[in-house]
Amino acid sequence: SSSSTGPSGDVSGTGNYLFVETSGGSAGDEAYLVMPQINISALTNPGVSFFYHMYGSTMGTLQVQARNAGSSAWTTIWSLSGQQQGDELDPWLPASADLGAFSSIVEIRFTMIHDVGGCCTSDMAIDEVSVANVCPSPSNITFDNVYDTSIDVAWTGSASSYTVEIQ
């Protein structure tokens, strides 16, 4: 593997992970991890969750794509570009993508794109990939009327309910 790019180990610290080595790569090169077909019909809020590590000064793009079994067209359901960690020791970051728009049998692939070109510092990695019920993350979180004993919190989300924990 190259220096100044990629993670130092997997999420748990003792296992394995998948990464793309970009030494010798060219701009536009793509690598794919295609998962076997998965039946999601028993899931009420199906999604794919995983951890990613994207450390390197010429980091490309990581995409999650899905399609109904038998379809030829992939749909990008999650995408992130550029360096996300500042060091190989920085923690892995969690992500998830909604699979609710797909039929009962779905195919999922991770696409790793070497956007920038140049050598060696675009090693991206994924770990702990899971297809299960996922809790959609809220967005556009705002905090207003902040006082010693109360706060107004608002957000946008697609879940029917959220659990809020205050620590």
pLDDT of residue 42: 95
Indicate whether 8 pLDDT > 80. Answer: no
pLDDT, residue 106, reads 97
Q: Of 22-31, 106-115, 116-125, which gets the smallest average pLDDT?
A: 116-125
**Per-residue H/E/C for the chain:** CCCCCCCCCCCCCCCCCEECCCCCCCCCEEEEEECCCEECCCCCCEEEEEEEEECCCCCCEEEEEEEECCCCCCEEEEEEECCCCCCCCCCCEEEEEECCCCCCEEEEEEEEEECCCCCCCCCEEEEEEEEEECCCCCEEEEEECCCCCCCEEEEECCCCCCCCCCC
Entry pTM = 0.79
